[in-house]
Structure formats: C-alpha cells, structure tokens
Copies of this chain bind each other. A is one copy, B any other.
C-alpha cells in the first residue's frame, strides 16, 4: 500500500477513519452518528460540516478502499513476473487490505455492502468490477481445471472470512497466511507446478 487510506491531518479523513472503525465493530445500522462524533471528539451536529449524511460516510469509506485496492493490485501485478507471482499478488493485496492499516475500511466494504443504497452501490460497481476483472484474468491465465468464476468466489469468500477470525500478531503472520491461501488454490484447481 503506497499511502494510508485516511490522512490523520485532515479532519474529514479522521472522521471517515473513525466511522470505518465503528461500522466494522458494530455494523453500519447499529452505529449512531453520536458515537462517531464521540470517537473523534466532536458533537454529532458537527459531523455534518464534513459530510452530508451518515450514508455518505459509508460511501466515502468504500470508495476509498475500492480505488486504493484497484491501484495497488495493478501496481503489484505489473511488478509480478510469472503465474505464481501474480497469483500471490492477488492474495497478498487482499489480505494486506483486510488486515493492514486499511482493515476497518476493507471489512466495511466487504460486509456492509447491503447497507448502502442501491443508487450508491451502482456508482461503486465500476471500480469493483475492474478489480474483479483483474482477478478473473489472473485466475484464467493460471489455467486450472476449476471454473475460474467459481474459484474466484471460493477464494474471495475464504479470504473475506479471515476478517472474522484471523488476527495479525499471532503465530501466523500475514506472509504465512498468504502462503496458506496460495497453497489452497494451487493444490486445488490449478495445475500442479
């Protein structure tokens, strides 16, 4: 990840970071604007100088992650040489977002999608689509036996679910987790090396 998702020097970014934290911990619907205000040390009314509505916070958080993930994945893929390296990049980017500094925002994107209004979902679908197109491309290149679409969903599900159980700092570090995920798909649907 080149740059942090939220700049601690910008009030609006501090707000979004706090919102992401709470949305992740409690869910969007269960988080009140008063709590978000308290998290950054202002009153709820003051939130609305930086943001038009509670939902705009959700949208902005998601927008940021989507753009950043897409940029990072593109960068990593352009650096990676060979099918395995590209595959590893796919997984590494996803897990880095899920458990690195952008963990809150990424979890929100993955698990609170339904809380976003249909209108706003539509706006984000482009970026999300571009991201998954890269996945499909890499998985197709790998030329495994399993339908790439199904494999993509399996892998995406397995990685997304790590946000519920995996905590970095334990016995298994992020590289280790990445290796395990890589082993999962390599053994499974892709031709053995």
Contact = CB atoms under 8 A, between A and B. Distances in A.
Copy tally for this chain in the complex stands at 4
A118 interface: no
Given A145-B183, A154-B158, 8 more contacts: A26-B114, A27-B114, A29-B29, A29-B30, A154-B180, A154-B184, A160-B161, A188-B188
Those 5 A-B pairs whose CB atoms lie nearest each other, nearest first: A157-B161, A29-B29, A187-B188, A187-B187, A184-B188
Interface string A1-40: 0000000000000000000000000110110000000000
Contacts of A153: 158, 161-162, 165-166
A150 interface: yes
Nearest to A186: B188
Interface in A136-189: 145-147, 150-151, 153-162, 164-166, 172, 177, 180-181, 183-189
Interface residues of A, number: 36
A70 interface: no
- The DSSP consensus for interface residues of chain A is helix
A99 to B, nearest CB: 13
A50 B67 CA distance: 44
Interface string A73-95: 00000000000000000000000
Contacts of A187: 187-189
7 contacts: A26-B114, A150-B172, A153-B161, A153-B166, A158-B158, A187-B189, A188-B188
Contacts of A29: 27, 29-30
A184 B189 contact: yes
Contacts of A60: none
B146 A180 contact: yes
A157 B164 CA distance: 9
A103 interface: no
